[in-house]
């Protein structure tokens, strides 16, 4: 069966949203970034509206675009994430697999390299995706990691009275348009 290739790309604030969620000894916290540059290349079988493979997937965003709504917290986070020397968070997929779902839904699993604070680690990102009626692919997922795996010392505040936890959850939503 001949293959029809569709290249879907997404970029810009309207197309991607990343949230970083963490804990501390006093309260949970979150930061959000809407300045995510991302690209994905899906392949579709002839006559199919749901992709059969994902041959390329990358995203990157500057650490300084993460915002909590509290400038003091943002500053501490930028220091911990080594924004001056490792200014971007980047993921580059090395292999991806699509598992068909029901109707227009499918799952994506991407093995790849995630770079944070200048340290690169192999990770697996999974996302639940759906093809909308206009052909846009909407993907949502979540991944948990430890700051210490990226040689990041969890920030403290108020002379150590407030201590952040080592574990982070990254939630993401991406809209890939043809």
Q: Answer left, alpha or beta for residue 12, where phi above 0 means left and psi between -120 and 50 means alpha.
A: left
How far is residue 146's CA from residue 94's CA, in Å, rounded to a whole number? 21
In this predicted structure, the answer to whether residue 5 has a pLDDT above a threshold of 70 is no
How far is residue 62's CA from residue 90's CA, in Å, rounded to a whole number? 9
Instruction: Say what the pLDDT of residue 4 is.
Output: 38
Structure-token match 């965003």, residue found: 61
In this predicted structure, the answer to whether residue 176 has a pLDDT above a threshold of 60 is yes
Instruction: Say what the pLDDT of residue 160 is.
Output: 67
How far is residue 5's CA from residue 45's CA, in Å, rounded to a whole number? 8
Task: For residue 30, give the CATH number of its domain.
Answer: 2.40.128.110
How far is residue 33's CA from residue 172's CA, in Å, rounded to a whole number? 10
- 161 is written with which tokens? 């009275």
User: Comparing 33-42, 147-156, 163-172, which segment has the lowest mean pLDDT?
Assistant: 33-42
Going by C-alpha positions, the residue among 66, 63, 41, 65 that lies closest to residue 54 is 41
Range(s) of the domain holding residue 122: 3-176
Mean pLDDT, the chain, as a whole number?
85
In this predicted structure, the answer to whether residue 9 has a pLDDT above a threshold of 60 is no
Question: How many domains does the chain fold into?
Answer: 1
């Amino acid at each position: 069966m001949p293959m029809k290739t569709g290249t879907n790309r997404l970029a810009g604030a309207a197309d991607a949203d990343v949230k970083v969620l963490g804990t501390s000894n006093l309260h949970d916290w979150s930061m959000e970034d809407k300045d995510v540059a991302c690209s994905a290349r899906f392949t579709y079988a002839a006559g199919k509206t749901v992709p059969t493979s994902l041959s390329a997937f990358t995203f990157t965003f500057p650490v300084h675009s993460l915002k909590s709504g509290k400038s003091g917290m943002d500053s501490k986070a930028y220091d911990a994430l080594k924004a001056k020397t490792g200014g971007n968070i980047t993921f580059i997929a090395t292999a991806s697999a699509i598992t068909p779902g029901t109707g227009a839904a499918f799952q994506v699993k991407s093995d790849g390299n995630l770079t944070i604070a200048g340290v690169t680690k192999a990770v697996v990102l999974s996302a639940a995706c759906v093809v909308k009626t206009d052909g846009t692919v909407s993907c949502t997922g979540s991944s948990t990691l430890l700051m210490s795996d990226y040689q990041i010392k969890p920030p403290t505040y108020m002379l150590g009275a407030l201590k952040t936890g080592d574990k982070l959850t990254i939630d993401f939503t991406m809209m890939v348009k043809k």
